[in-house]
Structure formats: structure tokens, C-alpha cells
Amino acid sequence: QVQLVESGGGLVQPGGSLRLSCAASGFTFSSTEMSWYRQAPGKEREMVATSTSAGASTNYADSVKGRFTISRDNAKNTMYLQMNNLKPEDTAVYYCNTVIVSRQGSWGQGTQVTVSS
């Protein structure tokens, strides 16, 4: 069974930084494209960043370009999201997932990121 465990969230002031981690199991992580998503209260879940299996190709939502960096360590089955210059509008629950699993409606618990003074 696919398991995705997000961690690293917390409370940070505007302009601060956080590094999120996603520990994956139950599938071949090294051959799977992975993405970070986020969902704020009252809003739809949105894709924040995507990384190919090798990590050589990445894509970001316009709202986070230049501030967030997605990376992965396939040897550790772990994906990361480095978030810099955080803004209040970045406040959300952050999730990691594969495209297929996300379409199936399966999600982990996510990790809460709150950006506030």
C-alpha cells in the first residue's frame, strides 16, 4: 500500500524558510514522478511543484517560482520542498503525491505550514 508521510511544517514569520520532507513507501519511488500540493481552508488543492523520477526536470506553480525548490533523494525514498521567502498566502496544508495516486483520491495527512507574524 502506498504511504506518503509529510513532515517539516510549522509556524514561520513572513520572509522565513521551511524545508518539508516526504517519506514514501509502497511503490518504486525512484521511477515515479512526484509532486507537492497544497490546500488552504476554503480553497481547492493546487499543485505547487513537480519533479521527474531522476529529479532533472522540475516544474513550479507561478506563485512559488523563485522561492520554492523541489528535490529528491531516491536512495532514501524521500522528496523535499525547500520554501524560502514565505508569504502569508503560502499558509496551507502541504501534501506530496504521485499523479496516479492523487487521481485515485488517496492522500497522506499532510503537514501544516502557517506563515504569520
DSSP for 62-112 reads: TTTTTTEEEEEEGGGTEEEEEE-S--GGG-EEEEEEEHHHHHTT-----EE
Query: What is the reported pLDDT for 10?
Result: 98
What is the per-residue pLDDT across 56-74, written as a single tens digit (0 to 9) for each?
899 999 999 999 999 999 9
**Strand partners of residue 36:** 49, 96
The DSSP symbol for 104 reads T
> What does the pLDDT read at residue 71?
96
pLDDT digits (tens, 9 = 90+) for 14-54: 999 999 999 999 999 999 999 999 999 999 999 999 999 88
User: Tens digits of per-residue pLDDT, 78-105?
Assistant: 999 999 999 999 999 999 999 889 999 9
DSSP string, 23-67: EEESS-GGGS-EEEEEE-TTS--EEEEEE-TTSS-EEE-TTTTTT
